[in-house]
Amino acid sequence: MRPVAVTGIGLVTPAGVGVETNWARLIKGVSTAAPDPRLHDVPVQFSCRVPDFDADKLLGSRLSWQLDPVSQFALIAAREAIADAGHDVEGWDAPRVGVVIGSCVGGAQTSAVQNDKFHDSGPDAVSAMFLPMSLVNMVAGVLSIHCNATGPNLLVSTACASGSTAIGVACELLLRDQCDIVIAGGAEAAITPLYVSGFARMGTLSRRNDDPTGASRPFSAERDGFVMAEGAGILVLERVEDAEARRAPVWARVLGYGNSADGYHVTSPHPEALGARAAAEQACTQAGISPSEVQHVNAHGSGTKLSDAVESRYIADYFPKAITTSTKSLIGHPLGAAGAIEAAYTAMSLRHQLIPATANLDPQDPAIEIDIAAETRPAAIDLAMSNSFGFGGHNAVLLMGR
């Protein structure tokens, strides 16, 4: 695979709005989880929300009221990424600009509000904007409309691997010469009582209502589930030669992409991580490297008992020299946005040569025998892997380099 350049990054996450704000919060190594008053009637009463988010201020009130928070997050992040890449949406060749976004559920908050209106006041109370705001494909559609991008426009949904899958598909569009630029990433805004209750009933969420900041603890012996989060991560991707021709600064290069299915269980990973291993093999083969050359892994690291155990064994086998972190320990699990946000964090680690801490690791599970950064750690990193795995057995990995 020919490398693809990451020329722009935009972030809206529980660590804040904007790349610089995110990085400053990330390297402090402190969880963003906090009590959530909107979850007072459900078993898990905390989450990782985007702090102090004011859509009216960031988008203008006329536009913000037309968009579910998932599209608000995506558009704000996309605008930052485009500006970071040095592009002007009015000046670029719109038919050569694509959009590929990953999301699990789309406009969950709009759906919840409109469902209540339907049951409380009848069908005439349902907003005419309900479907345009809630359909999952609209996240990609909104970016096309408001970023003047009229090339391929795709929404991919591979559960919690969606963001990484979107970036991989975007790379393929570039390398097939269907686009010159692709706006790619993931977005999610599903912290509602219904979704939190559903995950809680499955036993996948931490129940530490008395200690939210200590709840997200991937690879710890005391882990008991993940913490629901929200946000968006958007990358601007271009062919390396095009970025070099316009002398654009490059955050990182996508060197390989692997995608596979476990074909095993609706929620549990394959016990031998066969799908994850297959995806990693694909990515490393595309890049022409051995897995043992990878120096850093931004793990899926959700904090569930089974998933962390399986992933850690695969990391130990495939990436024995790598320093691992899970940034979900800091920002929680934003579902379909996770892979894209983590790809952005991996690119930032490559630029800054710093690996963010895995918060709440102590005590590390003694059965997990990999090198995990318990504190923010300087490191010489040339090759890094970002892992994303989702319900349904979806696996997507991105190999990135300087």
Digits of tens for pLDDT over the chain (402 positions)? 899 999 999 999 999 999 999 999 999 999 999 999 999 999 999 999 999 999 999 999 999 999 999 999 999 999 999 999 999 999 999 999 999 999 999 999 999 999 999 999 999 999 999 999 999 999 999 999 999 999 999 999 999 999 999 999 999 999 999 999 999 999 999 999 999 999 999 999 999 999 999 999 999 999 999 999 999 999 999 999 999 999 999 999 999 999 999 999 999 999 999 999 999 999 999 999 999 999 999 999 999 999 999 999 999 999 999 999 999 999 999 999 999 999 999 999 999 999 999 999 999 999 999 999 999 999 999 999 999 999 999 999 999 999
Is the pTM higher than 0.95? yes
d(CA 318, CA 98): 34
What pLDDT does 1 receive?
87
> Could you tell me the two tokens for 321?
């020299």
What pLDDT does 142 receive?
98
What pLDDT does 307 receive?
97
DSSP string for residues in 107-131: -HHHHHHHHHHHHHH-GGGS-TTHH
Q: Which residues form the catalytic set?
A: 160, 300, 333
d(CA 81, CA 148): 14
What pLDDT does 154 receive?
98
What's the angle, vertex CA 82, arms to CA 25 and CA 186, rounded to 5? 60
d(CA 137, CA 74): 12
> Could you tell me the two tokens for 17?
């709005």
> Could you tell me the two tokens for 391?
């319900």
What pLDDT does 396 receive?
98
- Other beta carbons less than 10 A from residue 306's beta carbon: 13
133, 187 in Cβ contact below 8 A? no
What pLDDT does 16 receive?
98
What pLDDT does 289 receive?
97
Question: Which residue type occupies 313?
Answer: R
Nearest to 159 by CA among 302, 348, 356: 302
d(CA 125, CA 308): 45
